[in-house]
Amino acid sequence: SQTIHQWPATLVQPVGSPLSLECTVEGTSNPNLYWYRQAAGRGLQLLFYSVGIGQISSEVPQNLSASRPQDRQFILSSKKLLLSDSGFYLCAWTGGTYGYTFGSGTRLTVV
Amino acid sequence: GESVGLHLPTLSVQEGDNSIINCAYSNSASDYFIWYKQESGKGPQFIIDIRSNMDKRQGQRVTVLLNKTVKHLSLQIAATQPGDSAVYFCAENRDRGSTLGRLYFGRGTQLTVWP
């Protein structure tokens, strides 16, 4: 069966520090992968998507970047975090029977 | 930006009653819609989806209705239970005819079920 793993679950980082969030998918090949961010009390905003290794598209200009070094690995990064980067980050993939599947999310607090 | 919005940000119902959550979308090119349930601190969970060539789709205790004329989507939950308490989001896929699969979400509706 297909599963998606996302870590860490929570993260507290100081302003100006780097960031690396990782997402991996199991049980499928060549999935489309997505990073979403959710601010408190808001819906999900699409940040990046990838249709293959090394292929990254950005939806909104921001302080973040994404990479896909392997078929089932998607990484969200920042060189210097801002307070406004705080939020709930979700990885998702498509290709399964029930459409889009989300990971459990990472709660990032920038202090 | 967000083009999918919800009419009611909060909804409170009695256990056993039916719930209806509404959603409006603005992009007439969207051809696929999904309802998600999100519990506090967790990722969204797929509930039901519908394609634009359908008006209605039923699942277990849930029904999604799509009115393309007025660009309106609704989620009906029958015999609502306390475990249904969560935030519900509708999302649209505007990538008609492609496999990009990008989803655009509304703000969400908080459903609270009282015993």
Interval A20-52: pLDDT, tens: 999 999 988 889 999 999 987 778 899 999 999
Distance in angstroms (rounded) separating the CA atoms of residues A63 and A79? 8
- Give the per-residue pLDDT at A98: 53
Contact (Cβ atoms closer than 8 angstroms) between residue B5 and residue B106: yes
Q: What is the pLDDT of residues B53-82, one digit of tens each?
A: 999 999 999 999 999 999 999 999 999 999
Would you state the pLDDT for residue B2?
40
> Which residue positions in chain A have pLDDT lower than 50?
none
Residue A24 C-alpha, separation from nearest chain B C-alpha, in angstroms? 15
Residue B3 has pLDDT above 50, yes or no: no
* The pLDDT of residue B29 is above 90: no
Residue B8 has pLDDT above 80, yes or no: no
The single residue listed with the structure tokens 């089932």 is A72
Per-residue pLDDT tens over the stretch B39-51? 988 999 999 999 9
Q: Do A34 and B104 touch (CB under 8 A)?
A: no
pLDDT, position A69 = 96
**pLDDT > 70? residue B109:** yes
CB contact under 8 A, B100 and A44: no
Nearest to B108 by CA among B48, B41, B28, B21: B21
Residues of A whose CB is below 8 A from B103: 34, 44, 46, 92, 100
Q: Is residue B1 over pLDDT 50?
A: no
